[in-house]
Structure 1
Amino acid sequence: MKKFSIVLIAFITCATCAQQIESEVKAEDPININYTTQMFVPDLDIPWGMTFLPDGSLLITEKSGELIHFKNGKKINIEGTPEIYVWGQGGFMDIKLHPNYSNNGWIYITHASSEGSGEGGNTALIRGKLDGSKLTDLEVLYKAEPNTKKGQHWGSRIEFDNEGFLYFSVGDRGNRNVNPQDITRDGGKIYRLNDDGSIPEDNPFVGTNNAKTAIFSFGHRNPQGMVKHPYTGSIWVNEHGPKGGDEINIVEKGKNYGWPVISYGVNYSGTPFTDITEKDGMEQPFFYWVPSIAPSGMTIVSSEKYPNWKGNILVGSLKFKYLERLIIENNKVIKREKLFEGLGRIRNVIQAPDNYIYVAVENHGIIKIVPEN
């Protein structure tokens, strides 16, 4: 076991609902709270998705294509998985149980797929059932089109809301000038489906000529974090910006989140691609980062095991290799903290049914965060 101290790194000030770092906190403002991390699942490469089964065992997707069942301290490789198109940032991605899993057994997965039109691949959403050590009854619920050989911005996370609707994300697939703002094209969107893959009748673009009717919101870049708020039931996402401009957004029906027309980031070369950060008809982020932290995975804490974290957001940083805590008051981020610096590239973070927080770390494994008394 290892102990880590948490150090407050920045206050946030906010003129509007969009926020960024204004200044570093002075050295006399540290928070000295110790937490213990316990290795839960060792020796994983890129553990993208994880979901706990009712018996306390864990399903883990490895980006390279393996589905692992971790039970009684052992890793079991699950057979019958779909063909995974591993390319660039794409591979085996998120995994989520149906809210009524104990009765229906459905497991939902996103992955990069070469099925469909065009060369290359795009993001697919499937569901299946676990029968011993085999995945069975596979159904493709949605496949983004067309395929492309570009390796970036696949998304992809999955979440259910309180009404049982299924949400999932697909990134802009590296085609920012076309996909995100066009509701007749896949990419750069948050999608909403019924649990069987059918389109909800009240989706915002049902009846719109040529629209992809699964779309719930658009103007996104590459959302790799998604969570249902435990208190409000709303769907929150985090998404990668370019150089600067990573965002957290609260997803609302039919809303346009602006990418790439408005952004707080610039090209990786440092050159601008837009000169505006706001525009009528486009949503401002709840929060944004400059510089980028490369966010992946997100949870909002409600567990009594972390009483001083309740209502706060935890986000993994791929770039800087730490877990970030965003402290919320009056629906605004007022402080940031770096947790567990140097732990590694954090791909995912969840609050599990046992009310502990689990963090998936690339080239390391899955750790459990245990608060000390």
Structure 2
Amino acid sequence: MRLTWIPLAVLGFVAACAPAAPSQPPAAASASQKIEVTELASGLAFPWGAAILPDGAILVTERDGRLRLIKDGKLVAEPIGGVPPVLNDGQGGLFDVALHPDFASNRLVYLAYAKGTKSANHTAVVRGQFDGSKLVNVEPVFDSIPERQTQAHYGGRLLFLPDKTLIVTLGDGYEYRDKAQDLSSDLGKIVRITDTGQPAPDNPFVGQAGKRPEIYTYGHRNVQGIAHDPVSGTLYAHEHGPKGGDEVNILTPGRNYGWPVITYGVDYSGAPISLESKKAGMEQPLIYWVPSIAPSSMVVYTGDLFPAWKGDLLVTALAGQQVRRVDLENGQVKAQETYLTDREERFRDIIQAPDGSLIVLTDDPEGKVLRLTPGR
């Protein structure tokens, strides 16, 4: 293991917006917190998602289709067997991994991945029982519809809620962005299903003709961050904007989050996507970022190692090359701080360990698994 001492970098504020307070939040005071970074593993091919087993071992997905295990502080050389074939092309590949809430008794592991061919593919979820070296009894759980002819914007994050329903985040397929407003399509949606893959029975569009019953919220671009606050019950999601306009949203079942009708970003060419950033019947983000930081995952911090962070959002960023703390007070953004910027690495995932430390993945062909704890 290698230990590195990283000072906390406070960069000030980017453009931000909250529904009740659309002006920029006040500047934060300088911080003196240090972060100790411990490298747990390296040499992983674009690690994408992670989950911590009850014995402290860590499952890590690699985008090219391998599921790996870090056990007793070392990366096990042999990948875990039983993973289905994935479409490893463009942004496609093996995405997130999640444990069933009753994993200790049923050993069920869930995987999200790109399924199909270059000309016909979609985001899918499977589950299998982990026997310590492979997944057995692997079965399909969810296949988003329709198929797309693109290798972009899959979403791919998984989150079990306290009622044991499963949230699956999806993308708009990039070239199919108008489908984000189409309730007969899963593109540009966040869906909520049972642990066996059925639409949650109390979802907002169950029983409505022409509307997919698995849909929980819609009008999203490419959602790769999902986090639940166990204290307030708030469900947060973040999505990649186009050129500018990355968003963090508070999710309410059945609500429309606007893409592509409203946006704070523009097309990559600089041309407008929409002339509107607000519209009746469409939700405003809690916060948005211009320029984009490319948010890639998110967690609500609930641990004791960083007591000042409790209830705050921790967001990893790709283009922004940072871990960002969004300091929340009474549901509003009070301040933001950026961490690990001097490492000049793209960060793909962040999860909280039972001891309150943080596990972070770097997005790289020789990616790393890092543990963050307070420095002295």
TM-score band (shorter)? over 0.9
Q: 1:353: how far off?
A: 2.1
Q: Which residue of 2 aligns with 1:159?
A: 159
Alignment partners' CA distance in 2, 1:147 and 1:14: 34
Deviations 1:288-311 (A, max 9, x none): 111110000111111111012111
Aligned to 1:355: 356
Residue of structure 1 in register with 2:328 after alignment: 328
Give the partner amino acid of 1:83: P
Question: Structure 1 length normalisation: TM-score?
Answer: 0.94
Q: Please tell me the residue identity of whatever aligns with 2:291.
A: P
Query: What's the counterpart of residue 133 of structure 2?
Result: 133
Superposed CA deviations along residues 13-32 of structure 1, whole A, max 9, x for unmatched, are 76744757579x69xx5322
1:212 is matched with which residue? 212
Cα displacement (A) at 1:139: 1.3
1:88 is matched with 90
The verdict on how the C-alpha distance between 1:18 and 1:366 changes in structure 2, with shifts beyond 3 A counting, is farther
Give the share of equivalent positions with the same residue, in percent.
37
Aligned partner of 1:35 in structure 2 is 35
What residue in structure 1 maps to residue 121 of structure 2?
121
- Runs of 4+ in structure 1 deviating by more than 3 angstroms, as ranges, are 11-23
Question: What is the SS of the residue equivalent to 1:9?
Answer: coil
Cα distance per residue 1:41-61 (max 9 Å; x no partner): 222221111001111101110
Q: 2:105 aligns to what SS in structure 1?
A: helix
Q: In structure 2, give the amino acid aligned to 1:276.
A: E
Change (3 A) 1:13 1:96: closer
Residues 18 and 332 of structure 2 are in contact (CA less than 8 Å); yes or no, is this contact kept in structure 1?
Answer: no
Residues 301 and 352, structure 2, Cα contact 8 Å, conserved in 1: yes
Is 2:370 the counterpart of 1:370? no
**Aligned partners of 1:175, 1:232: CA distance in 2, in Å?**
36
| Alpha-carbon distance between aligned partners in 2 of 1:13 and 1:83, rounded to the nearest angstrom | 40
Question: Is the Cα contact below 8 Å between 1:180 and 1:220 reproduced in 2?
Answer: yes
Long gaps (5+) in structure 1: none
Superposed, which structure 2 residues align to 1:1-373 within 5 Å?
A: 1-11=3-13, 16-17=19-20, 19=22, 29-72=29-72, 73-75=74-76, 76-114=78-116, 119-343=119-343, 344-363=345-364, 364-373=367-376
CA contact (8 A) 1:18 1:286 kept: no
Would the aligned equivalents of 2:322 and 2:347 in 1 still touch at CA under 8 Å? yes
AA aligned opposite 1:81: V
Task: Provide closer, same or farther for how the CA distance between residues 13 and 107 of structure 1 changes in structure 2, counting only shifts above 3 A.
Answer: closer
- Secondary structure of the 1:207 match is coil
Task: Quote the Cα distance in structure 2 between the aligned partners of 1:354 and 1:314.
Answer: 16
Structure-2-length-normalised TM-score: 0.93
Shift of 1:270: 1.1
Q: CA deviation at 1:162?
A: 1.4
Code of the residue aligned with 1:241 in structure 2: it is G
Aligned CA-pair RMSD = 1.9
- Tell me how far apart the structure 2 counterparts of residues 335 and 144 of structure 1 sit (CA, whole Å): 37
Distance 1:146 1:62 in 2: 25
* 1:194-234 C-alpha deviation (Å, 9 max, x unpaired): 11111222111111112211111100100011111131233
Question: Which ranges of structure 2 fall in alignment gaps of 5 or more residues?
Answer: none
Label 1:80 to 1:354 Cα distance change in 2 as closer, same or farther (>3 A). same
Q: Report the CA distance shift for 1:19/1:10 in structure 2 as closer, same or farther (over 3 A).
A: farther
Kept in 2: contact 1:161–1:234 (CA 8 A): no
* Equivalent residues of 1:44, 1:362 under 8 A apart: no
Structure 1 pair 316–20 and aligned structure 2 pair: CA distance change class (3 A): farther
Deviation (angstroms), 1:170: 0.9
Q: CA deviation at 1:320?
A: 2.0
